[in-house]
């Protein structure tokens, strides 16, 4: 029997697993090269991890903190940084983000590829079956056998990079479930406000949906809002959801402190282009002329205007949904349904915020799976 490990998908997680397992594994990808999504990360610079402490790190994965913790503790950012250093890739820090010193994502891909075992590109998998202790991976070119299989096929965003959800029927045929997938970490589109007239303005926003609230930096776009807080908040937004956007946290007292002769647009610490679209009828009014009702209207609009929201799927950087975490062991990434089958990275229903958290997860989950396989083979990490 072939004692090898088959890695399906050679993106961030697959490359990390294959670099750890080396000749113990072979990889299959339906694209003609690996790491295509990795190459476009961080605008081509690859924000591959973070400087966060572990306590902080685990809070950036929404409701999956419990599931991601063992892998992130086993392969934390400092280990990821030193792993790449050993492979010849020096890191540099920008705030809490970590990039290759060269600013080239290709350095990350090439470093991992150099340590990888055999690779089969452009093979289309039609099925994966387990007979006895052996997995049979049937492709359009041949039948591969393996003792273990790591599925690292990513999510469904930027499908041109290869992560297109084509593996889902195969995962289901193995007895697993797929939680419906959607693109997140993306622009929130809002049609009820003519945001295009304020395009390019950077500001701090408070976003709310029911009891969920996030505050942080955002950018107004032609169609709505983007930037870190909007992208992170997109995790919570379903099509046609009503969300609340807060521009300024003011009370009635604010007006009392202003000169009565001043125009409303001149006393608000917001760019005029934004005031023009938010308060078109009141902006030219003098503070002394505003009625109590009008002041309330200004406060309501600035503190939290309710709008219908949609997500821009085309710009989504991560996938929410996929293999449910309840079907996978959180320490080893091994399937609870089929022994010897592993899931790593974005194919799982785990998505992180922007800031290097998704690659950190892809690398850490791959490390857990690869280490578990080495342990089963009574081998140690070289």
Give the interface with ligand FAD as residue ranges (CB under 6 A). 8-14, 28-31, 34, 36-38, 40-42, 46-47, 125, 152-154, 157-158, 162-164, 166-167, 317-318, 345-347, 356-359, 362
Nearer to ligand FAD, 248 or 362 (CB): 362
User: How far, in Å, CA of 256 to CA of 370, rounded?
Assistant: 64
What are the tokens at 200? 């390019």
Rounded to the nearest 10°, the torsion over CA 82, 84, 88, 91 is -80
Min separation Cβ 366 and ligand FAD, Å: 7
Nearer to ligand FAD, 245 or 348 (CB): 348
Phi then psi for 49, rounded to 5 degrees? Answer: -165, -165
Nearer to ligand FAD, 108 or 287 (CB): 108
Nearer to ligand FAD, 153 or 234 (CB): 153
Instruction: List own/partner pairs for 55-60 with CB under 8 A and 24 or more apart.
Output: 57/357, 57/360, 60/352, 60/353, 60/355, 60/357
Min separation Cβ 153 and ligand FAD, Å: 4
Residue 222 CB contacts under 8 Å (≥ 6 apart), including other chains? 195, 196, 199
Min separation Cβ 224 and ligand FAD, Å: 18
Nearer to ligand FAD, 217 or 284 (CB): 217
Strand order in the sheet with 91-94: 49-50, 97-100, 91-94
Min separation Cβ 99 and ligand FAD, Å: 8
- Beta strand 188-189 pairing with 224-226: antiparallel
Nearer to ligand FAD, 18 or 206 (CB): 18
User: How far, in Å, CA of 239 to CA of 317, rounded?
Assistant: 17
- Kindly state the DSSP code that residue 201 receives in the 8-state scheme: -
Min separation Cβ 32 and ligand FAD, Å: 9
Min separation Cβ 307 and ligand FAD, Å: 26
What are the tokens at 237? 């937004």
Min separation Cβ 381 and ligand FAD, Å: 20
Query: Residue 53's Cα: distance from chain center in Å?
Result: 19
Residue nearest to ligand FAD according to CB distances in the complex: 11
Nearer to ligand FAD, 152 or 364 (CB): 152
């Amino acid at each position: 029997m072939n004692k090898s490990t088959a890695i399906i998908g050679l993106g961030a997680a697959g490359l990390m697993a294959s670099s750890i397992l080396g000749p113990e594994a072979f990889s299959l990808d339906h694209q003609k090269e690996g790491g295509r999504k990795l190459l476009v990360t961080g605008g081509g610079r690859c924000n591959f991890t973070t400087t966060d402490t572990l306590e902080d790190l685990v809070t950036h994965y929404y409701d999956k903190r419990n599931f991601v913790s063992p892998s992130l503790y086993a392969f934390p950012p400092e280990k990821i940084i030193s792993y790449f250093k050993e492979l010849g890739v020096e890191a540099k820090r920008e705030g809490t983000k970590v990039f290759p010193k060269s600013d080239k994502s290709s350095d990350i891909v090439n470093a991992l590829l150099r340590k990888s075992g055999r690779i089969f590109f452009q093979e289309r998998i039609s099925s994966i079956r387990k007979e006895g202790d052996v997995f049979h991976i049937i492709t359009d070119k041949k039948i591969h056998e393996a003792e273990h299989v790591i599925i690292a096929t990513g999510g469904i965003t930027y499908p041109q990079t290869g992560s297109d959800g084509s593996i889902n029927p195969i995962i289901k045929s193995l007895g697993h479930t797929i939680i419906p997938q959607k693109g997140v970490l993306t622009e929130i589109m809002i049609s009820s406000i003519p945001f295009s007239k304020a395009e390019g303005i950077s500001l701090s926003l408070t976003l709310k949906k029911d009891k969920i609230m996030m505050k942080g930096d955002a950018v107004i776009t032609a169609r709505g809002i983007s930037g870190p807080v909007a992208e992170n908040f997109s995790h919570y937004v379903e099509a046609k959801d009503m969300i609340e956007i807060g521009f300024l946290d003011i009370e009635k007292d604010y007006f009392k402190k202003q000169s009565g002769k001043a125009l409303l647009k001149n006393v608000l610490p917001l760019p005029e282009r934004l005031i023009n679209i938010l308060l078109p009828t009141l902006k030219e009014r003098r503070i002394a002329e505003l009625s109590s009702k009008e002041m309330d209207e200004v406060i309501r609009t600035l503190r939290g205007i309710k709008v219908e929201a949609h997500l821009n799927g085309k710009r989504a950087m991560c996938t929410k949904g996929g293999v449910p975490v309840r079907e996978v062991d959180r320490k080893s990434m091994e399937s609870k349904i089929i022994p010897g089958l592993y899931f790593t990275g974005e194919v799982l229903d785990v998505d992180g915020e922007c800031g290097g958290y998704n690659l950190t997860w892809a690398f850490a989950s791959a490390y857990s799976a690869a280490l578990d396989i080495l342990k089963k083979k009574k081998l140690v990490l070289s």
